[in-house]
A and B are shown apart, each in its own frame.
Chain A
Amino acid sequence: QMTQSPSSLSASVGDRVTITCRASQGINSWLAWYQHKPGKAPMSLIYAAFNLQSGVPSRFSGTGFGTDFTLTITGLQPEDSATYYCQQYHTFPLSFGGGTKVEI
């Protein structure tokens, strides 16, 4: 089970934003982060806890190992308004966090 916090946040352009994700048991680095905007397909941001997907801006970064993970957006941009999800892919059934809605 994946627990994300906060469930929502409001920040300003240029801010540094951190989202946390906690796994109920150790998952090594088998964690991904996704960005999801209404009416659009999710977008993959980070895999294996800290690896940036191709084409993702460098203001996105991920850290963590085991049970505690973070997604950080450094220098928030208007287009970053979205809901962010973590997902563990260590053990079946795979599971997503509850999501964090980021408002600018």
Chain B
Amino acid sequence: EVQLVQSGGGLVRPGGSLRLSCAASEFSLTDHYIDWARQAPGKGLEWVGRSRNKDNSYSTEYAATLIGRFTMSRDESKNSVFLQMNGLRTDDTAVYYCARLLFGEYVDVWGEGTTVIVSP
């Protein structure tokens, strides 16, 4: 079954770091763009960023407020995408989702989400 398996969430202090993982099952991530989105408690969905596919050099885009703190990367050997989050703030508390794009355009598969709690 085609799916995205997420891990890496947890509790972290303000100013700390966390790396989220998004592993692909039954397909190769090298062919696909991956988006990240998040949902803070009681809030709506918020777009976090995009990692393009290998043909596009794994180039990235980020939400303006996250530039400099969040970085996406890939490991082909693990068929995984990572979201490195540094300088975490309490308002980064959210469920984080990764999602696969078809044809580099629209999402067709979502990961199950991983919870990040930033608290003193």
For window 55-97 of A, CB contacts with B under 8 Å fall at: 83, 85, 87, 89, 92-97
**Secondary structure type dominating chain B contacts:** strand
Question: Given the interface contacts A32-B107, A44-B108, A47-B105, does A85 sit within 8 Å of B44 by beta carbon?
Answer: yes
Interface size class of B (residues with CB under 8 A): 20 to 34
Q: Are A96 and B108 within 8 A (Cβ)?
A: no
B residues 43-66 near A (Cβ < 8 Å) are 44-47, 50, 61-64
A-contact bits for B6-50, CB 8 A (1 contact / 0 none): 000000000000000000000000000001010100001111001
User: How far does the alpha carbon of A101 sit from the alpha carbon of B58 in the complex, in Å?
Assistant: 35
Which positions in B face A, CB cutoff 8 Å? 35, 37, 39, 44-47, 50, 61-64, 97, 99, 105-113
